Amino acid sequence: MSSDGDEDRTGYGNPPKHTRWKDGESGNPERRYPKRVETAVELIDKLLLKPVEITVSDRSRKVTTLEAILYRLWLKEVAGDARALKIRMKYQEFARQFSKPRIETVFVDNEYTAAFAAIPMDKDKDDE
């Protein structure tokens, strides 16, 4: 036996020193990580945004699956189907509830905006 202790031992769980990974070296040099699993929301988005071909008035068009569903609901509504109207209203409420708020820009005429636009502004309009 060697008097150096545990450093020279090889065997199960103790590979030879010259074959061990160096400090900072990875055991996965190719960096092939497992594919990330899609969430349910991502999967639904992918399916609803998938393009499909529909025929409208003897003309073929490519639209998203969601557009095709809504178009079909609209056709049923026009035909007088109350259930289709109820379903579309649920879709609409869901979209309104979970859609991102849009930024709305409102332009107001005042002295600053008139000077900025280099447009003369009538003083009489402000008095009204």
pLDDT tens digits for 5-57? 556 788 888 888 888 888 877 777 777 788 888 898 889 889 999 999 999 88
Residue-wise pLDDT tens digits, 76-117? 999 999 999 999 889 888 888 877 777 777 777 777 777 776
Output the pLDDT for position 1.
46
Half-sphere exposure of 98 (CA within 13 A, CB side): 7
Output the pLDDT for position 84.
92
Which residues on adjacent β-strands are paired with residue 63? 52
The rounded distance, in Å, linking the Cα atoms of 13 and 16 is: 10
The rounded distance, in Å, linking the Cα atoms of 35 and 24 is: 24
Q: Domain ranges in the chain?
A: 53-98
The rounded distance, in Å, linking the Cα atoms of 3 and 24 is: 30
pTM (predicted TM-score)? 0.48
